[in-house]
Amino acid sequence: MDGRLLAEIRDRYACRAFLPDGVDDGDLRLVLEAGRLAPSAFGLEPWRFVVVDAERRAAVEHAAFAQPAVVSAPLLVAIAALVDALHPDSDYVRARFVAEARGEPIDGIEAAYRAFYRPERIAAWAIGQCNFAAAHMLLQATHLGLASCPVGGFDDALLAQALGLPAGETPALLIALGHCAHAQPERLRKPL
Amino acid sequence: MDGRLLAEIRDRYACRAFLPDGVDDGDLRLVLEAGRLAPSAFGLEPWRFVVVDAERRAAVEHAAFAQPAVVSAPLLVAIAALVDALHPDSDYVRARFVAEARGEPIDGIEAAYRAFYRPERIAAWAIGQCNFAAAHMLLQATHLGLASCPVGGFDDALLAQALGLPAGETPALLIALGHCAHAQPERLRKPL
> What digits encode the pLDDT tens for the residues A155-191?
999 999 999 999 999 999 999 999 999 999 888 888 8
H or E element in which residue A81 lies: strand A75-82
Q: Name the superfamily (CATH) of residues B12-86+122-178.
A: NADH Oxidase (3.40.109.10)
pLDDT digits (tens, 9 = 90+) for B31-63: 999 999 999 999 999 999 999 999 999 999 999
Residues in chain A: 192
* Closest chain A residue by Cα to residue B36: A192
- Provide the CATH topology of domain A16-86+120-178: NADH Oxidase (3.40.109)
pLDDT digits (tens, 9 = 90+) for B135-192: 999 999 999 999 999 999 999 999 999 999 999 999 999 999 999 999 998 888 888 8
Concatenating the DSSP letter of every residue in A15-35 gives -SSB-S----HHHHHHHHHHH
ipTM of the complex: 0.95
A54 touches chain B (CB under 8 A): no
Tell if the CB–CB gap between B102 and A188 is shorter than 8 Å.
yes
Residue B150 · residue B77 · CB < 8 Å: no
Tell if the CB–CB gap between A5 and B5 is shorter than 8 Å.
yes
- Which of B 119-158 lie inside 8 A of A, CB atoms? 121, 124-125, 127-132, 134-136, 138-140, 143-145, 150, 152-153
Closest CA to B59 of B174, B163, B187: B163
Q: Say what the pLDDT of residue A3 is.
A: 76
Domain locations along chain B:
12-86+122-178
Distance from CA of A1 to the nearest CA of B (A): 7
Distance from CA of A116 to the nearest CA of B (A): 8
The DSSP 8-state label assigned to residue B118 in this structure reads: -
For residue B127, pLDDT over 60 is answered with yes
Q: How far is CA A87 from CA A125, B33, B36, B159, B163, in A?
A: 13, 36, 34, 26, 31
